[in-house]
Structure 1
């Protein structure tokens, strides 16, 4: 019986801009990822607390709704769920030295879909 290829991990995508959320979700779905969507950090935390299959967190930084920005969410996830790699995206500039948790990656917006997919696949290989 042939072995099935390993599945791509579930990506929790946190983005407050509906169009960007849809575009990133479509890009990742087309690349074989299962995508869960959250419009802000509070919703993302509820997803993480209720599911044990999230393999990667991808979060925007500037999210006016919710109780925290993407940097705070990334640090919280790195602390509570250290096995989940974190990708941070933002069009607001480069993060400072204390903004991101250890091991997190940053991609500035606008990003190329191929860059996004390549980065998440590298995360998936690292986490496997």
Structure 2
């Protein structure tokens, strides 16, 4: 496997909890993903506006900072960047009928690192 940047899928990871951000980032990096971190939705949008290599968005739902929660971010990304798959994670229960954009996936917290990696790999295979 080559280590050129184009071979490393880029995951935009949006998580306001520093420890969870670090753990998820390490898990994804160990699995071969390139991780770009954002602590709230507004930072994530800036990343998306300035990079064209994001392969998948992974966002937490409950983020006190910023102008929107993870569901609103997921819907906006699905609308503005329809080629980017969206994975939503939350420990606050399951999404309602209109929370998630079409095609998005949901994983409840706490999740197994292997579940996270498998879900993202399947997403990227489908998008390729």
Which TM-score bucket, shorter chain as reference?
over 0.9
Looking at structure 2, the residues matched to 27 and 115 of structure 1 have their Cα atoms a distance apart, in angstroms, of 11
Looking at structure 2, the residues matched to 9 and 127 of structure 1 have their Cα atoms a distance apart, in angstroms, of 11
Detail structure 1 runs of 4+ shifted over 6 Å in the superposition. Answer: none
Q: CA RMSD in A?
A: 1.4
Alignment of 1:30-109 (within 5 A): 30-109=30-109
1:126 aligns with 2:126: yes
Q: Which runs of no fewer than 5 residues in structure 2 stay unpaired?
A: none
Q: Which runs of no fewer than 5 residues in structure 1 stay unpaired?
A: none
Aligned length: 126
Q: Secondary structure at the match of 2:89?
A: strand
Could you give the per-residue CA deviations for residues 30-77 of structure 1, whole angstroms, max 9, x where no partner exists? 000000000000000000000000000000000000000000000000
Instruction: For residue 8 of structure 1, report the CA deviation from its aligned partner.
Output: 3.8
Structure-1-length-normalised TM-score = 0.95
Assess if the C-alpha contact under 8 Å between 1:61 and 1:88 holds in 2. Answer: yes
Looking at structure 1, the residues matched to 83 and 105 of structure 2 have their Cα atoms a distance apart, in angstroms, of 14
Structure-2-length-normalised TM-score = 0.95
